[in-house]
Structure 1
Amino acid sequence: MIDSRQLDAFNDDYLSKLGSPVSPRYLAGPGDPRHITHALYAAGWTVHSDPLHPVIRMKSPDREHELVFKPSPHHFHGWWKVHSTLGDNWYASFSGDAPVEIIAGLTDALVRPTPDSASDDLASILAEQGWKHTADGDGGHKIVSPDRTTVAERRVSPSMGLCGWEVEVARNWGPYGPEGFLWRVALDSRAPGHVLNAMATALCDPAPVLRPRFEIDESPHLHVGREVGIGTRIVTAHRNRLAQASGYRPAPPTITTPTGPISPAAAPARRR
């Protein structure tokens, strides 16, 4: 579980900060990585990396999934990588400025119980929120956000067949198309449907997210609310998030002890 020292450090980082609610969240900027890592740790994921090194490697309790956070000087590189170590060996890769709330949509799906079945409904989830969806006759899809800054696309390769989903986000839509790359995510074609759906739901969630002053992007499509003290709200929301995540933490294995008389073979030899 997250200890008091870690919570105190989080509190100290935010309690005196000013900031604003911003939307849409895909233009909000990266946010705090602890929104993801603390929640996974509270849910029973373990850390398999050097605590004195910036790279974070975490594994799920069943060792079926792994998360790697590896910062890079280049924000368009894959800072966040999630992959399965069993079964289909699917992966997802998010660049450095991807909002943590959207990444958490995917990682939270790995914490909750896996549904019996779930088809890939990413296209319909986005379309229901007003995104423009077009499909070609070969099975490819392209979905564009209402402000046209964000494009989710699934292509069909002549050699590889149906590829995985890719999402790219730009700061602005100008007279010649997208301007100012912000972030991208690549989702493997083998990624489970419930994982894709959870990420899509987080991507198009209209609810604002909080960002501190000086950490708000300058996109003309970003709606920025009135600046207020946000520290208490962020700290309270973080604690509630950890409490919810801890509810998915697996119970420790039960240790059974033998009952009844000890068999002669197991009894200690009597001294003479």
Structure 2
Amino acid sequence: MDAQPRCGAGQARWYASFGARTPVELIAATTDALTDPAPPAGAPSDPLEPLRQSGWSPAAAGNGLVSPDGTAYLQRLGSADEPGAWFVTATLAPDRPVWQARFGAHSPARLVAAFTTALADPTPVPRIDSGRSLPTRDPNIVTHRTTDVPAVYVARALQERVRSLAARHTTPPTIQVPSRQPPAKNNRSR
């Protein structure tokens, strides 16, 4: 999935790109932040802060962070004067990437922060066992597998999602359209 919003005059273009195996909850966190008219109070604006609070440490290259188990890396290209794109990669080994997400240099920090907040969330995510194994080092840390998801669980999750999305949108302001006045009569005839 790629996102390249239209920019107005004077605004820098940016992008967000998610690889095929990027967990859906991370993409959802980003799209929720993108479509939210007003970010929640207390939402982090520094993409690195949620990771630091979760025990991520500086990467060997010095321009990013690595997860405590060494399976995920966040890297920021560029320099302090000219920051570049963000890259987030999950791997099983240095030569075995599982997924990657990218955010352009001019991507809004709140969107990258929404992604990193979801990435740092330690809550296990239920996954349906599709017969294919989920690539992971420790399935107890990354996910909770289940073969059956009760319908009531899905319905409750959907209701909560709809409720939370609906609650964040306020009623749009009413646009007053001037009423059309009939043309002035000039009492002339042809």
- Is residue 166 from structure 1 mapped to residue 87 from structure 2 by the alignment? yes
Give the structure with the higher percent strand.
1
Aligned residue for 1:11? Answer: none
Instruction: Note closer, same or farther for the CA distance 1:258–1:142 as it changes in structure 2 (3 Å cut).
Output: closer
Number of residue equivalences: 176
CA distance in 2, matches of 1:254, 1:96: 41
- Is residue 141 from structure 1 mapped to residue 63 from structure 2 by the alignment? yes
Superposed, which structure 2 residues align to 1:195-210 within 5 Å? Answer: 195-210=111-126
Q: Percent identity?
A: 31
Aligned residue for 1:230? Answer: 149
Aligned residue for 1:124? Answer: 49
Aligned residue for 1:107? Answer: 31
1:251 to 151, 166, 171: 171
- Is residue 181 from structure 1 mapped to residue 97 from structure 2 by the alignment? yes
Aligned AA (1:192): P
| Kept after mapping to 2: 8 A contact 1:169/1:182 | yes
Superposed, which structure 2 residues align to 1:54-65 within 5 Å? Answer: none
Q: Give, in angstroms, the shift of residue 203 of structure 1.
A: 0.8
Aligned AA (2:96): G
Instruction: Note closer, same or farther for the CA distance 1:211–1:257 as it changes in structure 2 (3 Å cut).
Output: same
CA distance in 2, matches of 1:120, 1:227: 34
Q: Deviations over 1:27-75 (max 9, x none)?
A: xxxxxxxxxxxxxxxxxxxxxxxxxxxxxxxxxxxxxxxxxxxxxxxxx
- Runs of 5+ consecutive residues of structure 1 not aligned to the other structure: 1-79
| Kept after mapping to 1: 8 A contact 2:128/2:145 | no
TM-score (norm: length of structure 2): 0.75
Aligned residue for 1:152? Answer: 74
Aligned AA (2:6): T
- Is residue 219 from structure 1 mapped to residue 141 from structure 2 by the alignment? no
RMSD between aligned alpha carbons? Answer: 3.3
TM-score (norm: length of structure 1): 0.55
| Kept after mapping to 2: 8 A contact 1:147/1:221 | no
Q: Deviations over 1:192-237 (max 9, x none)?
A: 1211211110111101111112265042322154746423212321
CA distance in 1, matches of 2:72, 2:19: 14
Q: Which has the higher contact order (CA 8 A, sep 6+)?
A: 1
